[in-house]
Amino acid sequence: MAYEIKLDIFEGPLDLLLYLIKKNEIDIYDIPIALITRQYLEYIEMLRSLNLDLAGEFLVLAATLLHIKSRLLLPVEEDPSTQDEEDPRAELVRQLLDYQAFKEAALELDRRPVLERDVFTRLCPVAEPNDPEDPEVFVEMDVFDLVRAFQQIFTRLDKADMIEIEAEEMSLADRINEIMDRLMERKHLTFTELIGARTDRRWILYTFLALLELMKLRMIKAYQSESYGAIRLFLAVE
């Protein structure tokens, strides 16, 4: 059995690089790339010799450092058109400064009196989901979400008392046309509205197949605001 060890000392390659810069007391705007690259690679080598799985991102930054180093080794062209060319280190410095700022912001957040850690309120039943200030955001669903929603309905059906009734004549094409007609009238419908009060399997199945077909043809779009929330159907074309 393999054990996965997560090394928490550094939050990522940028964190390691910042650490090396601080340790060497280097000016972040004038990084001696050769020195830092060597130390960075040594560090990675050490981590690997300890048999720790390194995240791919550490290797990406190693490649970036080597790339910068090689560009710095190239002779500077005298051609005036390339004179404005940026220091190859500039992009990395920007990234480091941004990261440093957010790292500090994270520490600052952690220094605040955090609820349920440093400060407490009276115990109240948690009132959460219906925050009136959070407007519903719809996330487009794919066919798999729809299949899952139907599975739910079928499980619920299995628990309900059911009476077999004689199958009526119905075709998929009819059901597709019915759904399109209703959508033309109403602009949008929830899935529950489409099913209505009917509980026979055949009806639900045909509705399901019709919706799959319409989604495949890109005639309708299905949206949902949260997992297991109401599924809303819209016409894809006006």
Partner 1 sequence: MEQKKAIIEALVFASEAPLSVERIADILTGEEKALISQALQELVGDYEERKGGIYLQAVAGGYQFRTSPDLSTWVKKLRAAKPVGVSPAALETLAIIAYRQPVVKADIDRFRGVDAAGALRGLLDKKLVRIVGRKDVPGKPILYGTTRKFLEVFNLQDLSALPTLRELKELQE
Rule CB under 8 A: choose which of 12, 30, 184, 193 binds partner 1. 12
Q: Identify the DSSP state of 231.
A: E
Structure token digits, residue 13: 């390659």
220-224 and 188-190: which strand pairing?
unpaired
> Under 8 Å CB-to-CB from 28, ≥6 apart: which residues?
21, 93, 96, 97, 100
Tokens encoding 93: 């410095």
163 lies in the site for partner 1, by CB under 8 A: no
Q: How many residues bind partner 1 (CB under 8 A)?
A: 42
Nearer to partner 1, 82 or 121 (CB): 121
- Binders of partner 1 in range 91-110 (CB under 8 A): 95, 98-99, 101-110
Q: Does 218 bind partner 1 (CB under 8 A)?
A: no
Give the x/- contact pattern for partner 1 in 14-53, rule: CB under 8 A: xx--------------------------------------
Beta carbon of residue 5, minimum distance to partner 1 (angstroms, whole number): 16
Q: Which of 73, 137, 197, 237 binds partner 1 (CB under 8 A)?
A: 137
Say how far residue 223 (Cα) sits from the centre of its chain. 17
Q: Which residues of 148-169 are buried (b: 16+ CB within 10 A; e: fewer)?
A: ebbeebeeeeeeeeeeeeeeee
Among 7, 11, 143, 186, binds partner 1 (CB under 8 A): 11
| Helix or strand run (H / E) with residue 140 | strand 139-140
Binding residues for partner 1 (CB under 8 A) = 8, 11-15, 55, 57, 61, 95, 98-99, 101-110, 112-122, 124-125, 127-128, 131, 133-134, 137, 139
